[in-house]
Amino acid sequence: MTRIYAVLFIFLLGGSNLTFAQQQFTYTQYIDNVVPMNPAWSLTRGGSEVNILGRKQWMNVEGAPSTFMANGFTSIDNINATVGFNLLSDKVAVENLTEFSLFFAKAVRLDDELYLSAAMNAGFRRYNAAYSALDPDDPTLVNSDIRENKGSIGAAVMIYIPGKFYAGVSLPRLSFEDLGTGSVNRVANYKNFYFFNIGYTHALTDEFSWDNAAVMAYTANVPLQADFSSKIWVKDALGLGFNYRTNNELGVLTSFKTGNLNIGYSYQFGFGQSKVAGFNGATHEITIGLRFGGGYSDDLRVRK
């Protein structure tokens, strides 16, 4: 029964934090990689790229939310397009969501600097909840496990000026039925999410640049959530910044680039009403990115 109480406590904390892991907007370092939310962003980059991310909340709490993400894409230069993939594994206590999708994105030039890109994706979503594992001797948990599989499609559009600005809207996961409707955390079912992303880069001097990005996430019956990030780059090699989420969370962002490698780390913590009994839910996140056909220090190319 101890494990059952622990799981319920985790969901209580999650409910106070706007549905933590089930909120499909689950990572902090989107300022460096928007592809999981909007695949059309891949067209703002040159060459090919692979990114992985590991995220862990409440390090000392058994069953606390954890996330693994991987995505990548490659350019098809002769048609001004990209193809790629997104993978997500989201776990909390005995619940596990896995998603995989493939996408195709295409850009057209609107004027000398401005481009319009659009993306389509398709894949599957798998939700498992092993409630019977909490206490095999409890008859009330017999046959309580949940296994659901759904196909999904998605779409995204974005306008951008390479290396300077982007703004886009997306529905990366459209399922005609909600996933995880049997979850203990009833308000946090895996629903369809809509995203609005915007970002801007400004060269302060020859050695310093300033990145800014924001994202808003909406789903039915969940309050609108917004997130803001800002980062200063030194010689396009060391990045330092902060992140603020409207459910009363702050984060510190750090990044290091060398050649084709980018390593990022963020530390996110709650304050004010996001705490439960003084528990601030600190979150650690690590990202690793590899680029091919051009290093991270190269300027984003202007497409023909």
Q: Reduce the secondary structure of the chain to three states and give it as a string.
A: CHHHHHHHHHHHHHHHCCCHHHCCCCCCCHHHCCCCCCHHHHHHCCCEEEEEEEEEECCCCCCCCEEEEEEEEEEEHHHCEEEEEEEEEEEECCEEEEEEEEEEEEEEECCCCCEEEEEEEEEEEEEEECHHHHCCCCHHHCCCCEEEEEEEEEEEEEEEECCCEEEEEEEEEECCCCECCCCCCHHHCECCCEEEEEEEEEECCCCEEEEEEEEEEEECCEEEEEEEEEEEEECCCEEEEEEEECCCEEEEEEEEEECCEEEEEEEEEECHHHCECCECCCEEEEEEEEEECCCCCCCCCCCC
Q: What is the mean pLDDT of residues 286-295?
A: 85
- Which residue ranges form the domains of the chain, and what is each CATH number? 2-292 (2.40.160.40)
pLDDT confidence of residue 171: 92
Among 32-46, 83-97, 173-187, whose mean pLDDT is lowest?
173-187
In the predicted structure, residue 125 carries a pLDDT above the cut 60? yes
* Single-letter amino acid code for the residue at 211: D
Count of other CB atoms within 10 angstroms of residue 85: 17
Question: Under a CB-based contact definition with an 8 Å cutoff, are residues 115 and 145 in contact?
Answer: no
Mean pLDDT in the chain? 82
* pLDDT of 193 higher than 50: yes
Q: pLDDT category, 140, cuts 50, 70, 90?
A: low
- Confidence at residue 262, expressed as pLDDT on a 0 to 100 scale: 95
What's the CA gap between 228 and 28, in Å, rounded? Answer: 10
pLDDT at 114 over 50: yes
pTM (2 d.p.)? 0.82
Q: Lowest-confidence range among 75-79, 165-169, 182-186, 285-289?
A: 182-186
* Residue-level length of the chain: 304
Check: CB of residue 116 under 8 Å from CB of residue 107.
yes
Instruction: Tell me the chain's radius of gyration from C-alpha atoms.
Output: 20
Q: State how far Cα 72 lies from the chain centre.
A: 14
